[in-house]
Amino acid sequence: MAFFTGKGDKGTTKLFDTPSGARVSKSSPIFECLGQLDELNTIVGWCKVASPDDFVLGNKEVKEILHDAQDHLFTIQAEAAGAPKSVPQSSVEAMSALITDIEKSLPEIKTFLVPGGTELSARLDIARAISRRAERRLVTLHESGERVISESSRAYANRLSSLFYALTRFANHRAGVTEKSPQYRDSI
């Protein structure tokens, strides 16, 4: 596959389900959504390479968990681009169980936490924030009627930010970092 074709130089491109020869403006909400999902997938890769080999949950390396999330993000991107794909409900359920297991192993919190305990937790917090933005774009695209995004893919996108939050807290806990609540100061 070529790195570029030049066909998009005039601000249009093709999707999986566009009729032969038809092109779509890159200003379409579809491409805002695809761009957010791509950005998130890239950040997840950045988190994955920072995860130590011994960072394990149950019998699975966090690197593998993050790679699975990347694969599912590609599935959601394909769905948003018109391919007949969606995240299976079983993946949503598996992620929910993983988040619950992580939460059980951590001290309870009742407030927001200030990001930035470790390098890895800071990266995971960035992934969490971008994940929420990507989910909003996915829901906007679905609600616009331009694309029907399956309920299971939307649920997966919703759970993903919770996974990153759980992993952020777990990374801090594993490193012995004490999490801090915001002070809501009025001045410096």
Q: Note the pLDDT tens digit of each residue in 87-114.
A: 999 999 999 999 999 999 987 877 677 6
Torsion sign (Cα): 8, 14, 19, 20: positive
Please tell me what DSSP assigns to residue 110.
Answer: -
**Judging by DSSP bridges, how do beta strands 24-25 and 56-57 pair with one another?**
unpaired
pLDDT, average across residues 105-129? 86
Indicate the domain borders of the chain: 26-174
CB 130 within 8 A of CB 43: yes
Q: Is the pLDDT of residue 136 over 80?
A: yes
Q: Which residue has the tokens 């993946």?
A: 91
Indicate the class that CATH gives domain 26-174. mainly alpha
pTM of the model: 0.89
Predicted confidence (pLDDT) per residue in 41-61, tens digit: 999 999 999 999 999 998 899
Collapsing DSSP to helix, strand or coil, 61 comes out as strand
Q: How many CA atoms lie within 13 A of 126 on its CB side?
A: 16
